[in-house]
């Protein structure tokens, strides 16, 4: 469900079947189902600390905070409009969250000194050297990459405690870049493809790794989102397990 305030050009959008409400810009970058899948894949437990790099309006980390109670939630966002929205959304949903305004390549001092059990991120999907940039500067800043994936992975790894998990979602075509960006500090890598339908190529991947992990690389079975082989009627046709993730805040098993 969505409501729009014409005076502010913001919308209030329901996530997790109405368990969470997020205020977002009516135009520009808007969170959809991707951050919900990201949040569902994080194996967090109550009492742990989570950092969301590039948290936007807070969709992923607040979905995680709603699913797992008792987490310490921290976000980093370089665009002030989204950092303010993330703070607002945390308050509106009665979830304690600290949001830092800053760039991951110039990490705020408070974050440089902090360590986390989990670092999550939804890096920009599109390289700026490919395609046409969006004329909307805020949307382009969220979707168009000008900080390389190597920097995202390096900063995430630095912020992790030993044994901590890094979890990210990215376009499937950029999986080779994600894997190349990892170094020996990360191991036990699992890749979970997300496919629109049976027989269709994966459009997204969730990648999870552990700091200091020594397990073998695993390519997990794909998560198929929709029932049937095509979109036949005006409804989502999500498979039951996907509906449970999107509506009921169910966890997503990576392996």
Report d(CA 86, CA 75) in Å as an integer.
8
**pLDDT value at residue 255:** 87
The structural domains of the chain, ordered by start, are 2-248 (3.40.50.150)
Instruction: Give the tens place of pLDDT for each residue, 162-189.
Output: 999 999 999 999 999 999 999 999 999 9
Residue 242 has pLDDT above 80, yes or no: yes
Report d(CA 33, CA 234) in Å as an integer.
18
Instruction: Give the tens place of pLDDT for each residue, 82-108.
Output: 999 999 999 999 999 999 999 999 999
Report whether 245 contacts 40 (CB < 8 A).
yes
Report d(CA 3, CA 1) in Å as an integer.
7
**pLDDT value at residue 84:** 97
**pLDDT value at residue 228:** 75
Ordered alpha helix ranges (H), the chain: 34-40, 59-67, 80-92, 109-112, 137-143, 149-159, 175-181, 240-248
**pLDDT value at residue 21:** 98
CB atoms within 10 A of CB 216: 9
Report d(CA 163, CA 88) in Å as an integer.
32
Contacts of 84 (CB under 8 A, 6+ apart): none
Please give the distance of CA 40 from its chain centroid, rounded to a whole number.
10
């Amino acid at each position: 469900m969505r409501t729009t305030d014409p005076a502010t050009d913001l919308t209030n959008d329901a996530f997790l079947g109405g368990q969470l409400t997020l205020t977002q810009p009516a135009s520009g970058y808007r969170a959809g189902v991707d951050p919900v899948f990201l949040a569902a894949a994080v194996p967090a437990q109550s009492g742990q600390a989570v950092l969301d790099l590039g948290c936007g309006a807070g969709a992923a980390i607040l979905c995680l905070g709603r699913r797992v109670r008792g987490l310490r939630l921290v976000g980093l966002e370089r665009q002030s409009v989204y950092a303010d929205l993330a703070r607002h959304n945390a308050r509106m949903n009665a979830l304690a969250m600290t949001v830092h305004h800053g760039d991951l390549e110039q990490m705020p001092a408070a974050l440089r000194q902090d360590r986390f059990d989990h670092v999550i991120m939804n890096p920009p999907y599109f390289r700026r050297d490919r395609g046409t940039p969006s004329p909307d500067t805020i949307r382009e800043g969220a979707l168009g990459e000008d900080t390389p994936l190597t920097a995202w992975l390096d900063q995430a790894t630095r912020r992790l405690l030993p044994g901590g998990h890094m979890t990210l979602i990215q376009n499937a075509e950029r999986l080779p870049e994600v894997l190349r960006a990892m170094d020996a500090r990360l191991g036990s890598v699992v890749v979970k493809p997300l496919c629109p339908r049976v027989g269709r190529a994966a459009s997204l991947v969730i990648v999870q790794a552990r700091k200091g992990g020594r397990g073998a690389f695993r390519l997990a079975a794909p998560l198929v989102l929709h029932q049937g082989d095509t979109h036949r009627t005006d409804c989502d046709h999500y498979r039951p397990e996907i509906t449970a993730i999107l509506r009921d805040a169910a966890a997503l098993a990576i392996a």
